[in-house]
Amino acid sequence: MSGYGYGQSGFATGYPGSYPSAQPYPRGVVPPPTAGMYPQSGPVYPQSGPVNPGGRVYHRVVEWQDASHGRVPVGNPVIGGQDVNGEPLYIGSTELGGDLVPGKVVPSHGCCYIPYDGREHSSKNYHVLVNPGGCELIWIHASNGTVPTGAIQGGKTASGEPLFVGRHRHQGSVTVGKVHPSHGKLYLSFGGNEESYSEYEVLCCKHVSLM
């Protein structure tokens, strides 16, 4: 099965001690699914409803919920990294130029930052990745545009190419961005600029439960 989808057990974690592990934070009451869940059409990897690849049906894994102005939902929003001052960075996404781009939500800044067209862009309206079912999320080392099986899709280009949630250390931070497979890189935003790396970590679901 390709890397665009479904978690399997037996993954090794990313390089030891490199980054903080994926974790839901803070823990709270799981809200019911909302009409603003991303995406309202098109796939989530793994998909946000029952799917049937090869005759196997999977439970919902993760969801995207709308938020704005630095807020994050209750129901286990997922931390992807941390800023230089130690502030948690949540995994977010927002639309720009026909693309849906994964990036970082910085609560103290009141926005989501994404890398796009060589620059860092911000939006006060965005989606936040939440993990209501408590899926075991792990970061797996990859490079040159590859993504492991179980990779979480964070968006897509205007042409429909999936973009995946990735991260890398940068200038004292651990920053979330987009893995763009056809470009062979992870792109992240920092200090007004878009930065790229050919090696990175990809957010993956370690196990997906069968229904």
Q: 166-202 pLDDT, tens per residue? A: 999 999 999 999 999 999 999 999 999 999 999 999 9
Model confidence, pTM:
0.74
DSSP code, position 53: G
Write b or e for each residue in 124-137: b if 16 or more Cβ atoms lie within 10 A of its Cβ, otherwise e: eebbbbbbbbebeb
pLDDT in tens, 108-154: 999 999 999 999 999 999 999 999 988 899 999 999 999 998 999 99
CA dist 73 and 42 (Å) reads 22
Element (H, E) at 122: strand 119-123
